Structure formats: structure tokens, C-alpha cells
Structure 1
Amino acid sequence: MKLKYRLVYYLFGLLLGLFFVIKFLGAKAEAKGVEFCYLPNCRVLKELRNKSLNFSPEAQATLEENWINLDDIRNTLKYGDVDFSKSNKPYKNGKIYLIEGKTTQNEEINITMINYTSKVILEKIEKK
């Protein structure tokens, strides 16, 4: 058998095997609630979501203005983008993170959070 036919058979089998592995193992991981976060943005957001969330007085006042709600904050912590040029810097015995996201009304927002070892404080919420 020629080399190009061997290569085609090999690649076809490899792709078929990868499809089945992703299909079955992916479904198994989803059923157990496992999330695979290997990229830095995903890892930071997952860490911030898993800790208890506290609010600073400034953030609490912004939430009471009713242009943003807690669901917008949760969605930003799930689907937002961490600005690493302004994040991961020491701040008040923790590290500060700036996360860019959107509200349910599709307004762009920036939230600033301080990550401590046992909790996360929502420092401020700003419109872009």
C-alpha cells in the first residue's frame, strides 16, 4: 500500500477516534458538572466564581441604582474577559482584577474585584 493511502487511513481513524472520545467523555464531564479551564481567563473567572462574594459600599450603591443587577455580575463572571494588563496586582492584602462584560441590556461594563484567599470583594462597577 502506498504511503499516501496509509496516511489517509491513519488520519481517518484518528479523526473518528477523537470524535468518539470527545462525544462520550464530554457528555460524561457535563453530567458531573466538570468544567475544563486551562486558559488564564477561564481559570481566573472560575476562581472568582467559586469564592463567597461580598460587596463594597460603592458597589452596593451602584447595584441600588437599578441599571445593573446581580445576574449581570454573574454573567460577567462567567462570560467576561479579564484585563490582565490591569489585573493580578497586589492590592489591600489581595489581588485586584478588572473584568469586562455586558449587562442584559447589552451595555458594556467593567467590574473591579479584589481576590482574597477566602473571599472576593466586588469593589466597583462602571459603565464603559
Structure 2
Amino acid sequence: MLYKEHKLDVGAFIQESMRSMAINYISSLEIGFIKSLNGKINEARTKLIFRFLASNAIEPTTKKTYSTILKDLSSIKSFASEIIVPKTYIWPVDPDQYLQAPTSLISDAHKQKLEVYANGFTNDVPRSYNYSYDPTAEYL
């Protein structure tokens, strides 16, 4: 909305920038923004990545929750080649913060030829934690 209010075209800026430098990855939380780049960039050189927020957060373009959007991986593949998800999408935790069995998200995404990256591990969060910023220790 900020860009529209100020009559700025981020897609045009990215296209112009790509003439003078390599942009390997573009990620966004908004489906509409990523879709607006399709056809404007060389997807063989620049990967489009859709980033998920918390499962109950609302994606601005579709007005759906991110957990609802995740249920249709084939539609995500139509506009992105990679996804970034919070670790709880892969390893959910119960209300007491104990790990539960892993989900099938990674294998389901790979079947759609989507690459998956997880975020939110202990060393991703800039605060003190009992695991000394070590995600292996966190899961052990």
C-alpha cells in the first residue's frame, strides 16, 4: 500500500536494477507482488520466493490465512519456485512447547518441485535463549 500511495512501482525498480546487477532471489509475503513479477524477470536467474507468516496471519492479496494458502501447494508453484515457512509448519509444538511429529510439508512441497526453507530456529531469533543459539541443542 505504501508504494501505491506514493506512486512507486517496485517491479519497475527491480527490472531497472537487474540491468546493472544480479538479483538472485526476491521474496515477499504478498502473493500479488510475486505474481506481478512473473514475466518481468528471468526466472532461470532470479528465484521468486513466497514467505509464510504465522498460520493464523492473513495474506494481504487473497485475504486468506497462510495456513489455508499452504494447503494448495500447486497454486503456489504457479507463481513461486521456493517457500520460506516458520519451523512450526514443519515441526509443530504443543501448548507446552514440546515438539510433535513432523508434518509432511517438505515431502509435499518437493512433489510440487518447490524448494523449502525454514526459519524461526533458535539462532534466527535475536534474543537470549537457553540453547545458546544452537538449533541442534534446541531439538535434542
User: Shorter-normalised TM-score: what interval?
Assistant: under 0.3
Q: Which has the higher contact order (CA 8 A, sep 6+)?
A: 1
Q: Larger % of helix: which? A: 1
Structure richer in strand, relative to its length: 1
TM-score (norm 2): 0.22
TM-score, scaled to structure 1: 0.23
